[in-house]
């Protein structure tokens, strides 16, 4: 076994404990983020039952698309105009 990877050598070289702790924390966070993205993200779908048309799961019953997680589309035609905004239709 490599030096520093057993409990006895880790006790002797206690300065390696923060290094192993940070690396272990990074591995756990990377794995956790991957699992979270697979479960909650609308960009990734893991559907083994219906792989024929995965794009149909993104459409609501009324035909509109589901809003992506980080994308918010504003309809600027319905927003109230500011008094300082120039009139561009002339």
Q: Among 42, 45, 33, 38, which Cα is nearest to 68's?
A: 42
pLDDT tens, 37-61? 888 776 666 666 665 565 556 666 7
When divided into structural domains, the chain yields a total of 1
Count other C-beta atoms under 10 Å from residue 45's C-beta: 13
Cβ distance 10 to 19 under 8 Å?
Answer: no
Provide the domain limits for residue 81.
1-47+55-85
Which residues neighbour 54 within 8 Å (Cβ) at sequence distance 6 or greater? Answer: 45, 47
19 lies in some domain: yes
90 lies in some domain: no
40 lies in some domain: yes
Token duo for residue 58: 């993104």
60 lies in some domain: yes
12 lies in some domain: yes
Output the pLDDT for position 27: 98
Q: With a cut of 50, list the residues of the chain below it in pLDDT.
A: none
22 lies in some domain: yes
42 lies in some domain: yes
């Amino acid at each position: 076994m490599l030096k520093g990877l057993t409990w006895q050598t880790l006790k002797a070289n206690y300065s390696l404990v923060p290094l192993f702790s940070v690396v272990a924390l990074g591995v756990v966070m990377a794995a956790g983020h991957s699992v979270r993205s697979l479960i909650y993200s609308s960009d990734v779908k893991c559907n083994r039952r219906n792989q024929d048309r995965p794009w149909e799961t993104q459409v609501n019953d009324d035909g509109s698309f589901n809003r992506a997680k980080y994308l918010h589309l504003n309809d600027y035609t319905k927003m109230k105009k500011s008094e300082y905004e120039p009139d561009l239709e002339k």
